[in-house]
Structure 1
Amino acid sequence: MITQPQTVPAADPYEERLRMQTARLLAYRDDGPLVTLLRGRVGPGLPAVPASLAALVVIVAMAVAGILDDGPILLAPVLVMIVLVLPTAARDHLGRLDWLVPPLIRGTEFLTIILIGLAAEAPKWLLYVLIYVIGYHTYDTVYRTRQSIWPAAWVFRAGLGWELRLLIIGVGAALGVLTWVLAALTLYLGVLFAVESITSWVGLDKQTALAQAGDDLEASPEEAQEQAGGEAERT
């Protein structure tokens, strides 16, 4: 998975902007190990926006038609999501509307979790907590990349990606053990994302503090005296 733009020397500003756009959108997709494994094996892939939108429409149609009942049928929306959305990962995401792909994927993932959970009569509060945990991870990724602080690639693999999360939930629902699966998945993802996020931000704060301290040590005596004088005047 590409979660950090590759360094290229003396890039054209327009090409650099496109490269950053692709890197950010791929990070926002939150693809996991399965998508990473199959990305290069699906040819040119499906158009990202139409395929993602089609997956959402089909899953909504399933819910409206009332075919999502307890049992193996609950794997159906997961398979629809994987069949239609997974091949879109091979695209360059440079289309005018490709910025819609990450919210479509995340929204469809959340909707699928809710529909499966309600059909399998899983605790609603557990569904809410799982969605909150995934949403926090998405927010953290967006906030970091907008400051050019890229999460490590292993975080996306360890986070399982939208595809493995949905597969695990679908299989759990089909086997009638969804509540236990949701509890384990929520606990695992919550600890993973919280610990990694806190550790990364604390490490960044330490690096910033050390860099500022280094700048202060490198300042000449005249600059230090002038800075001290300016602080004294402000007080």
Structure 2
Amino acid sequence: MISVHMTPVPRSAVVAYRDDGTLSKGMGLLVSGQLPPLPPALAGAFVTAVLLGLGAAGADDFAVFAPAVALLLAGAGSSHPHDGRLDWLVPPILRLTEYGFIASAGFARDVPPVLVFALLGAMAFHHYDTVYRLRQHVYAPPWLAPAGLGWDGRMLVVALGGLLGLVAPVFVLLAVYLWCLFGWESLTCWLAAPRAAGEAAEAGAPE
């Protein structure tokens, strides 16, 4: 049975827009939400850009360590409620970091452009879907975030492909996996959402 979450999100929507994976959330738990999220996200993006400037994510390049550095820096702010005046900037910064790293790794390692755009498209679809769900109060099941690996997990998988010299196969596998996961879950969720909403309205209607 497909379950659709129709209750309000207990935390700031900005936190959901971050799309943190298990590792990033674990880093945030270490500081118990005491670290403001914007400075570490900016630091992670800056270091990633510097490492990408030194070389793309291959076995012999410093940039292969960018995901680990970004995780250590930006992940630490994941448990913060993101209620600061400028904390809304954190998700776009994380998207820029993730998309920039993955695109740079793909194009620098001669991955066919169609594969690069297929992987970026899967992530963009998921992030757009997340934004629209929150606006419509139709929330994803809790298992989707860890299953989708999060921005940190996806970067680490691509970096691992660079270390092993298997960037193109990793792009193929990751793109297929994410499209199947995000596409199928989104389709089934949205198909079930109107029925769930209608049933809830009928249940609350006066006799």
Unmatched segments (≥5 aa) in structure 2: 1-6
Greater RCO (CA < 8 Å, at least 6 residues apart) = 2
Provide the residue aligned with 1:232 in structure 2: none
Provide the residue aligned with 1:174 in structure 2: 163
Helix, strand or coil at the partner of 2:20: coil
Helix, strand or coil at the partner of 1:71: coil
Unmatched segments (≥5 aa) in structure 1: 7-18, 220-235
Q: Over aligned residue pairs, what C-alpha RMSD do you find?
A: 2.4
Deviation at residue 195 of structure 1 after TM alignment: 0.6
Q: Could you tell me which of 157, 180, 183 is aligned with 1:191?
A: 180
1:154 equivalent to 2:143? Answer yes
Q: Could you tell me which of 108, 112, 117 is aligned with 1:123?
A: 112
Provide the residue aligned with 1:111 in structure 2: 100
Q: Could you tell me which of 36, 53, 56 is aligned with 1:68?
A: 56
Moved over 6 A (4+): none
Q: Percent identity?
A: 34
Does the CA contact (< 8 Å) of 1:120 and 1:176 recur in 2? no
Rg larger for: 1
Deviation at residue 50 of structure 1 after TM alignment: 1.8
Normalising by structure 2, report the TM-score.
Answer: 0.86
1:93-129: CA deviation from partner (whole Å, max 9, x where unpaired): 1110000001110111000101111222222211111
Does the CA contact (< 8 Å) of 1:30 and 1:161 recur in 2? yes
Structure whose residues are more often helix by fraction: 1
Deviation at residue 37 of structure 1 after TM alignment: 3.1
Counterparts of 2:34 and 2:104 in 1: how far apart (Å)? 27
Provide the residue aligned with 1:140 in structure 2: 129
Does the CA contact (< 8 Å) of 1:45 and 1:89 recur in 2? no
Q: How many residues align?
A: 199
